[in-house]
Amino acid sequence: MSLADDLNRNLRDGSPVLAAALSELGRRTAFPPDIPHQAAEARGKELNATIGQVTDGAGAPLAPASLRSAFGGLERKDTDRAILYSPIEGIAELRRLWSDRLGRSASAPFTLPQVTVGLTHGLSLVADLFAGPDRPVAIAAPFWGNYRQIFALRRGARVVTGPAYRDGRFNPRAIVEALAGEEPGRPAVAILNFPSNPGGYSPTAEERRQLVAGLLEEADRRPLVVVLDDAYAGLIYEEGVPAGSLFWELADRHPNLAPIKVDGATKELSFFGGRVGFLTFALPPDGAAAAALESKLKCLLRAAVGSPPAASQVALIGALRDRATPGQIEAIRQRLAARYRALADALSDVDRYLLEPLPFNSGCFALIALKENLELDSNDVRRELLERYDTGLIAIAPRYLRIAFCSVRRAALPELVGRIERAVRGMAGRPLGTGG
């Protein structure tokens, strides 16, 4: 029996739904007992001639002083860690610190987080394990376009969608509607992203209840892997909107449903260039199933990037050790909340015969729909804003415009909305003050 077969058996014993949902690549994947495995076994030995990194012979890096000076604020041991290779699974201290952070909200067992090279890489690893040719991947539309590249282009999966909004309101059954035509019994992947990109929306308590109920119904019909893209976790601006991840509400709720949490420092700590993400499963951390998943993830990570960058992990360790960091994160959230309120106020006065602001309450974005009767394409409007109004937005075909209010000063947001309205009015040939 091969190593991969052993891992698949262990995963099947500990999580039948994840075993059933493995892609063909996921079933074949296992971390081989080659250089990284053997080097890990030799850590701490007096003489260690296993790994190809240049050291002083006692484990410290030989590096130019000019490079070391870039880490001048660190203790020598942390500078050494920043310069040397990271373990493929990530630096152990960082994994423990992130686990402790998750543990403040935990209501179910969870694996020790696997370090990834940003959240996009984490999503790609999930796609490798659980998506493949013709595997349905359900997403509420409109959605972040990179999901299509990650799951469909790279892995050949089939993206199926349901409307994220209906009649100007959030639709909590979008995933169920997306999977309505799929054959019962076949595994599927669902992606949930709250606060959302591009919509900047997080469901209310009642909407969450309906959403979870729909996912449980779907799990009655098929093995369902639910990916929680928690990139914007914590950025909630309205009272009564739950801030916790749906990961905890879905863990251990149904034997045929497996949630996977993808999160990281990118938005949660505003560490955009650090590219530090994490993958977490709702399984006991010391079980054979967790070990099987870690082996598979390490194999895929080793095959793509070698190991995650150590320098950004060390920087994040320092931030997570610092007791002042939570207060600093809250100060950033409050600043974004002020921008959110300024944008919401400005959008409340737009001409509803031209533009339909969709509900938003969190995250970094707001979404505006061009009224269908105008017969305007969102990309044409985007080009008009670039060329005549010195303004950049993201167009999402065929009629959505995304505003990243996280990147605009609060005082400038009313002017931004005014430029959008003037551009659309001019393109639609509708004079100021005319009725519908």
Structure confidence by residue, pLDDT tens digits, 342-367: 999 999 999 999 999 999 999 999 99
Please calculate the CA angle 380-386-392 and round it to the nearest 5 degrees.
100
Q: Confirm whether 356 is domain-assigned.
A: yes
246 and 333, same domain (yes or no) = no
27 and 72, same domain (yes or no) = no
80 and 113, same domain (yes or no) = no
pLDDT reported for residue 186: 97
Structure confidence by residue, pLDDT tens digits, 364-388: 999 999 999 999 999 999 999 999 9
Contact 381, 423 (CB under 8 A): yes
C-alpha to C-alpha distance for 138 and 226, rounded to whole angstroms: 9
255 and 177, same domain (yes or no) = yes
C-alpha to C-alpha distance for 120 and 148, rounded to whole angstroms: 12
Region 325-335: what's the mean pLDDT? 98
Q: Which residue, 325, 7, 356, is CA-closest to 169?
A: 356
Whether the predicted pLDDT of 436 surpasses 50:
no
Task: For residue 261, give the 3-state DSSP assignment.
Answer: strand
User: Considering 55, 85, 115, which residue would you say is the last residue of a domain?
Assistant: 85
C-alpha to C-alpha distance for 42 and 38, rounded to whole angstroms: 6
Whether the predicted pLDDT of 404 surpasses 50:
yes
122 and 221, same domain (yes or no) = yes
For residue 208, what are its two tokens? 């969450």
167 and 252, same domain (yes or no) = yes
Instruction: Quote the mean pLDDT of the chain.
Output: 96
Query: pLDDT band at 432, cuts 50/70/90?
Result: low
170 and 311, same domain (yes or no) = yes
Which helix (H) or strand (E) segment is 103 a member of?
helix 92-103
pLDDT reported for residue 51: 85
Q: Which residue, 206, 291, 227, 221, is CA-closest to 254?
A: 221
Contacts of 258 (CB under 8 A, 6+ apart): 15, 17, 18, 21, 223, 224, 225, 226, 281, 282
Q: Confirm whether 73 is domain-assigned.
A: yes
User: Considering 288, 321, 354, which residue would you say is the last residue of a domain?
Assistant: 321
C-alpha to C-alpha distance for 203 and 298, rounded to whole angstroms: 34
Q: Which residue has the higher pLDDT, 275 or 34?
A: 275
Residues above pLDDT 70, as percent of the chain: 98
Structure confidence by residue, pLDDT tens digits, 167-200: 999 999 999 999 999 999 999 999 999 999 999 9
Q: Confirm whether 114 is domain-assigned.
A: yes
Contact 296, 57 (CB under 8 A): no
Structure confidence by residue, pLDDT tens digits, 66-96: 999 999 889 999 999 999 999 999 999 999 9
pLDDT reported for residue 70: 92
Bond preceding residue 398 cis, omega within 30 of 0: yes
pLDDT reported for residue 43: 87
207 and 107, same domain (yes or no) = yes
Bond preceding residue 142 cis, omega within 30 of 0: yes
Residues above pLDDT 90, as percent of the chain: 91
Q: Confirm whether 434 is domain-assigned.
A: no
Span of 274-278, 328-332, 404-408, 426-430 with lowest mean pLDDT:
426-430
Q: Confirm whether 260 is domain-assigned.
A: yes
Q: Confirm whether 212 is domain-assigned.
A: yes
Structural domains in the chain (count): 3
C-alpha to C-alpha distance for 274 and 117, rounded to whole angstroms: 8
Residue 249 has φ and ψ, to the nearest 5°, of: -75, -25
Bond preceding residue 184 cis, omega within 30 of 0: no
Query: pLDDT band at 430, cuts 50/70/90?
Result: low
Contact 377, 399 (CB under 8 A): yes
Burial of 50 (0-12, 13-18, 19+ CB in 10 A): middle
Q: Confirm whether 349 is domain-assigned.
A: yes
Q: Confirm whether 414 is domain-assigned.
A: yes
335 and 392, same domain (yes or no) = yes
Give first-to-last CA distance, the chain, whole Å. Answer: 71
Q: In sequence order, what DSSP letters do the residues of 358-416 get, joined into one string?
A: PP--BTTEEEEEEPGGG---HHHHHHHHHHHH----EEETTTEEEEEGGGS-GGGHHHH
Sheet holding 355-357, edge to edge: 355-357, 365-370, 400-404, 394-396
User: Considering 259, 288, 321, which residue would you say is the last residue of a domain?
Assistant: 321
Residue type, 14: G
Tally Cβ neighbours within 10 Å of residue 273.
9
pLDDT reported for residue 431: 64
pLDDT reported for residue 118: 98
Domain CATH for 265: 3.40.640.10
pLDDT reported for residue 435: 45
Structure confidence by residue, pLDDT tens digits, 11-68: 999 999 999 999 999 999 999 988 888 988 888 888 889 888 998 888 899 999 999 9
Contact 403, 332 (CB under 8 A): no
Domain CATH for 402: 3.90.1150.10
pLDDT reported for residue 39: 87
407 and 343, same domain (yes or no) = yes
Q: What is the pTM of this model?
A: 0.95
Whether the predicted pLDDT of 108 surpasses 50:
yes
C-alpha to C-alpha distance for 82 and 383, rounded to whole angstroms: 43
Whether the predicted pLDDT of 274 surpasses 80:
yes
261 and 212, same domain (yes or no) = yes
230 and 357, same domain (yes or no) = no
For residue 288, what are the domain limits? 3-31+88-321
